[in-house]
Amino acid sequence: MLRLFIALRPPPAIRDLLADAMDGVPSARWQDDDQLHLTLRFIGEVDRPVAEDIAAALEQVHAPAPTVRIAGVGTFDRRGRVDTLWAGVTPHDALAHLHRKVDQACGRAGLSPEPRAYLPHITLARLPGSAGRAPEIAGWRAVHAGLSSAPFAMEHLVLYQSHLGHGGASYEPVMRWPLDTGAPDA
C-alpha cells in the first residue's frame, strides 16, 4: 500500500521565511524543509493500481499556477488541545479552484470526494497531546501573527508518498506536473 497526498511546494525563499518562524514552542515537532508543502488533497493508503490511476488523472489537470502569499499563523485543535501550528496562505480562491480540480481528478480515479472543508495552510509543527495547552502556543501565535511574504507562485502539482516512522512522517515526491505560469513557451 502507498500512503499518498497531492500538494504544492513553496519556493526556497518562502521555506526559509517559514523556518524562521519555527521556534518558541519547546515540545513542538517542527517540520523540516522537505516537509514544507501546501496540501491540496490527502488520499491516504491505496494500492499501486489505484495510485497509477490517480497519477493518470492528475496528468489531465490543467490550471494556472496559483500566486499566493503567506498571511499569518494559526492552530488546529483536536479535542480541546492544539495539535498543529500552521502558516496561512492567501488568497484562497485560486487554491480552492485548484483543490476542486484535483478532487475531481481523484474522483475520476475512483476516490470519494474530500468531505472536509478546504483551508489552505502550510503545517509548521505537530504537537504532542501533552503540549496542546502550553502557554507558549499563545505566545508563538502573538509573535508570528504578522508573518507575511511577498506574492509567489507555486508552479507544480506534486504527488507525494508519505512514509510513517518513529520520528514522524517523511515525504517523497513521486511525480510532478507543471501548472500554467502564463509565460510563453520558449
pLDDT digit string, tens, across residues 102-145: 999 999 999 999 888 999 999 999 998 777 567 899 999 999 99
Catalytically annotated residues? 37, 121
Which residue from 157, 170, 119 is spatially nearest to 6, judged by alpha carbons?
157
pLDDT of 167 above 80: no
Distance CA 89, CA 121 (A): 5
Extract the C-alpha cell encoding 27.
515540545
Kindly report, residue by residue over 54-113, the tens digit of the pLDDT: 999 999 999 999 999 999 999 999 888 899 999 999 999 999 999 999 999 999 999 999
Q: Which residues contact 171 (CB under 8 A, 6 or more apart)?
A: 34, 35, 37, 160, 161, 162, 163
User: Is the entire prediction scored with pTM above 0.85?
Assistant: yes
| CA–CA distances in Å: residue 17 to residues 71, 85, 105, 151, 174 | 12, 15, 32, 13, 26
Extract the C-alpha cell encoding 84.
498543529
